[in-house]
Each structure stands twice: as structure tokens, then as C-alpha cells.
Amino acid sequence: MKRLIPAALLLSSAFAAPALAQADQPLVDPSGEKVNQLIVYGDDPCPKSEGSTITVCARKEEEERFRIPKALRDNPNATVNQAWSQKVRAYETVGNFGTNSCSAVGAGGATGCLARLIDRAYAEKKNSSDVQFGKLIEEERAKRLETIDADAAAEQARVEQIEKEYEARLKREREQAGEQAPATSAPAQP
């Protein structure tokens, strides 16, 4: 177990380095919007969203700024960190063997391990207390949609005003051209 911890830290740092290098570049959401996800600490201000980029900030306490993330601080699989109900649930699988049992006993016993691993990963992700950027992005999107009707109405009023001014200018130019046209194009009589 002690050999796995340094290997896990080395592996996580290998994945973290490229992620940190790309931290300034916003992600592109499947809907086509750019999303800038940041974690701010203490009273640090969250930068404002600019243009079509949605900036979402997750706020953590100041004392978390230079610490290893909670998810990596200790071993969640240690028996000390497991609930009693999880320990009892382990006894439910005693004697479980055969196809899709993920055990070394019986024909096809090794099958089912991947499904169990995937189910466990999704359960951990669902129950994680870590920051859930998906919810924050949806909240920011909802804020933008609240103002879209007012913005559209203001833009429509501005366009209508410009059109009225343009039509008035055209009318004045036509009237001026109409007054000048008969005076200059009057036929001469012999």
C-alpha cells in the first residue's frame, strides 16, 4: 500500500501539469459557449464574464489555498474512513461466485469487475463533496437568460429608432430633390 501512494502522487502530478498549463484557456462547452472555470480562495474576487465566455468561480476557504485537495489527502479506502454499513455490505458478497461476480472462484468469475468498478466510480462522483462545475455553469447560464429579453427589447428599440431617423432623412432628401428637380428641368418654350 505504501508503494501505491507515491505512484499515485506521481501519476496525479503528471496529469495536473498539463491542466495547469491550460488553466488560462477557457473550455468550449458542447453548446458552443466558452466556459472559464476557476477556483478562488477567501475573499479573492471572481473575474467578470466577458463577451460570450461564461466565467464560473468556485469559492473555497482561505486556508485551503496551498493545501493538497481534500480528495487526495487521505486514503478513502482505509477501513478507518469507511462507514459501518459499508463494512457490513462487504459480508453480503460472501459466497458470491460465478459469472459476473468479479471473483477468482468459478467459471467466469473474473467477469463483472469492470461493471463494478464503473458503478463504484459513478457513485463516488455523485456523492462527492468536491466542486461541481456543471451546476455552477447552469446557474450562470440561467442568469444570462434572465436578462436576454430585456437586452433584446433594448436592441430592438435602438434599431427602430435608427430606422425612423433613416426614413426621415430619406424623406427630407427626396423633398429637397423634388423641389430642385422642377426648377432645373423646366422645358424652355420657343
Give the model confidence (pLDDT) of 81-126 as tens digits: 778 887 777 776 667 777 777 777 777 777 878 888 888 888 887 7
Model confidence over 156-166: pLDDT tens digits?
Answer: 999 999 999 99
Q: Between 61 and 73, where is the model more confident?
A: 61
Q: Which residue type occupies 163?
A: E
Q: Between 82 and 141, where is the model more confident?
A: 141
User: How far, in Å, CA of 173 to CA of 112, rounded?
Assistant: 82
User: How far, in Å, CA of 51 to CA of 144, rounded?
Assistant: 11
User: How far, in Å, CA of 132 to CA of 35, rounded?
Assistant: 14
Predicted pLDDT of residue 163:
96
| Residue 34, strand partner residues | 28, 53
pTM recorded for the entire structure = 0.34
pLDDT at 131 over 70: no
Please give the share of the chain, as a percent, with pLDDT higher than 70: 74
Residue whose entry in the numeric block shows the C-alpha cell 466565467: 55
Predicted pLDDT of residue 45:
94
pLDDT at 180 over 80: no
- Is the distance from CB of 60 to CB of 43 less than 8 angstroms? no
From 75, 47, 70, select the one nearest 60 (Cα to Cα): 70
